Amino acid sequence: MVNPIKLDGKQIGLRAIQIVRDGRTILDIPNTDIQLGGITACIGPNGAGKTTFLKLLHGLIQPKAGGSVNYADGIRSALVLHHTPMIKASVRTNIGLNGLRTPSNDEIDRVLQEVGLSHLQHQPAHQLSAGEKQKLSLGRARLQNPNVLLLDEPTANLDPTTTAQVEAMIQEFAASGCDVLISSHQLAQVRRLADSILFIDGGQIIEKGACAPFFAQPQTEAAQRYMQRERAAD
């Protein structure tokens, strides 16, 4: 369950987290606190549990009995998954579907302008390009007015120009006071954006801390092996 409790600042407390699917443990996090602030990158090998972790934090997935996700009081999260479904309606209709409240026309106009989709607002959303859909999803998240934004591989399969545009939007969220937790497999992107790192491997949070020291010298063998593999692949 996801509970608001008295934690210091913007923290998320994870207690006795176990997510098991088809007999396989996806997440196994006994007890840890995550301090939010600026942009945090969640990195790790494919299949490490990063997407499941973000869904857990947002409350889309529940841990086994006895486990809990405890938010500091006042945290409002929005989640943008890598593949966000669009209903067969206009861009304008889709961007206004946030499930929490009905935004005003002025708010929708403002966000459409901010994400660069005003000229496409009457087009069917499901016909947009991958980059345009991602901008729509970020605009929809903005209309939810979150103070924590969870992003799952937000620039995967996007061209360099669109990637730069989406990264700029992410930085705008952070500059406005909305803390961002982003999963990414692109280490160059992590270096550009992140203030801190969560390294997940085998469903466990293996290492966490500031970005620069992590890149200079990871403290765990698992993180060191991961960084060596990723650098060799580059």
Kindly report the average pLDDT of the chain as a whole number: 91
Confidence check: pLDDT of 3 > 80: no
Q: What is the pLDDT of residue 97?
A: 87
Q: What is the pLDDT of residue 6?
A: 46
Confidence check: pLDDT of 188 > 70: yes
Confidence check: pLDDT of 101 > 80: no
Confidence check: pLDDT of 62 > 50: yes
Confidence check: pLDDT of 206 > 50: yes
Exposure b/e, 171-194, CB count within 10 A at least 16 = b: eebbeeebbbbbbbbbbebbeebb
Confidence check: pLDDT of 52 > 90: yes
pLDDT tens, position by position, 129-151: 999 999 999 999 999 999 999 99
* Residue among 221, 182, 206, 153 nearest 38 (CA): 182
Predicted TM-score (pTM) of the model is: 0.92
Domains of the chain from N-terminus onward: 2-233 (3.40.50.300)
